Amino acid sequence: MVIESQEVRTALREEKPVKTSSAVWLGVANSATGLLCAFAEGTALTYFFTTFMGLNPNLSAIVWIIFGIWNALNDPIYGFIADRTKSKLGRRIPWIRYGAPIMAVLFAITWISFPSMKGNQAFLFCQMLISLFLYDIVYTAIASAIYVMPYEMAVTNKARNKIFIWNIVFSLVNFGAPMFLNGMLTDLIEGNPTMFTIGMAIAGVVAGALTFISTFFYKENGYHMEEEQPKFFEGLKQCLKNKPFLLFEVISWTVIYAQQSLMLGLTYVNEMWYNSGVNGWAGGMSMWILYGGLALGLLAGILFFVFTRPKFGIRTDTLIMCAVMGTGVLVGSFLGKYMYVLVFSFFCIGVGLGGGLYLVPMLNGDIIDFDELKNGARREGVYAGINSLITKPAGALAQAIFPVMMAWFGFDQNKKTAQGITDFVNQPQSAKDGLFICWFLITGILLILSLVAMWFFPLHGKKWDDEKSALADAHAKKEQEYEQAILAKMEADQAKAE
């Protein structure tokens, strides 16, 4: 019997709090997979194949474009399948648990270098492309499942808040470590290639093990498996008719592009401006000042948005985030060669990245909630897939555009040192100055567009809060009916056995 009394409905509206252990381990899994992706689909891979192995940057750009197209197409297909997965573990956990060991192996073999193949353009092109394809197929299944787990575990932003905060804590590792190491790629790869390969293999195994173990500490709402899902193209049409989702995609695209682009510039600024001694640059200390400004901005951004979200709301905080980060990158585009101006830019970028880590997942959760209110079924997988369809090309485009733009400003990838690696120091001044435009300008333009999109974002205010409360009630009823159905089946099975 479904309970209808107002007293019970009021009690059901108060969601069960998410266990701290569940939030922590989901954060660990998110960080572990994110760390591997930051290397396997980021700056390190491009550097490894172009600078160390000798792949032509134009061929590398083609790899990223081909991969970006494939990567965008496979995500909606996975999301469609995942939403229909039925198992004792749920819809998401099987993909995480059983995909983690495969992900670890594929990540490790991505970094195998064949000395005899250095400079062999056809072989390196195929190796880079195949490595990306195989790794990302498995990574997509795991990361998408982890990404949507908070929305399976809780309904209200109040209940999800703990999950997102722990995600941020651990995300500092998978964000900070690549940023720090990307400034040392020459020493890490060229200094001892064998140890670099072994180190990457160890990182893959550890991350895979942590991701596997994490699945024993959280669970999802089982009743979502019983909901009827629309057919593929009908579901796709519903997503693309969702106005809040389309507005969200502007900022989601910007975040992906910015993360890739900002990582790319670190190696260049480290090598080209590291020891210049002009415009405030002072050797090795300069990079630490930059990292310090970024870390301070990141911390300030996280604290500000965590404490102001209940009062300002997600939309207003996101507008602030876009404005602050946009100011930083636009100033850095034209004045970044001055060390302390770049520190200011990095502080603003840190504020924006902190906001992105905290606010963007909450925006995404609200969009999925809005879709469920309209269509009656929970479709996190499809939305994650369509989001990837639209945004994954952003990362590939950033990888492809940056070296091409640098070439426009006179950077010569083929200029080599005595050791046979790219000579960053003896590049023309136009390339050194143009670095900052290549690094920041497109991100700044995208942030302006994001600001405009979020201005028109409709999911905010009292009306939306009331609709979210109604959704919490609906979930409570679904959970109760699901548990009653399971109990009835157990009783029927027991009676049949007797």
- For residue 9, the model assigns a pLDDT of 41
Give the DSSP letter of residue 186: I
Per-residue pLDDT reduced to its tens digit, 299-313: 899 899 988 988 888
- Quote the pLDDT of residue 3: 37
Q: Give tens-digit pLDDT for 325-361.
A: 999 999 999 998 888 899 999 999 999 988 888 888 8
Residue 231's pLDDT band (cuts 50, 70, 90): low
DSSP 3-state of 217:
coil
pLDDT at residue number 46: 83
CB 154 within 8 A of CB 18: yes
Token output for 192: 């001892």
On average, the pLDDT of the chain sits at 80
The position carrying tokens 């990141």 is 298
C-alpha span between 373 and 174 (Å, rounded): 34
**All domains in the chain, ordered by first residue:** 18-218+228-460 (1.20.1250.20)
How far is 410 from 431, CA to CA, in rounded Å? Answer: 5
> What is the rounded CA–CA span in Å between residue 362 and residue 308?
14
pLDDT in tens, 234-293: 767 777 788 899 999 999 889 888 888 887 787 788 778 765 666 666 655 577 888 889
The pLDDT tens digits of the residues spanning 1-52 come to 333 334 334 433 455 677 888 889 998 998 899 888 888 877 788 888 887 8
Q: Which amino acid is at 354?
A: G
Full DSSP string of 72-110: HHHHHHHHHHHHT---TT-SSHHHHHHHHHHHHHHHHHH
Per-residue pLDDT band at 322 (split at 50, 70, 90): very high
Give 141's pLDDT tier (boundaries 50, 70, 90): confident
Which helix (H) or strand (E) element contains residue 159?
helix 157-182
- Residue, of 47 and 481, whose pLDDT is higher: 47
Q: Tokens 């700056």 identify what position?
A: 43
Alpha-carbon distance of 280 to 353, in angstroms, equals 25
Angle separating helix axes 121-153 and 380-408, nearest 10 degrees: 140
Q: Is the model's pLDDT at 147 over the cut of 60?
A: yes
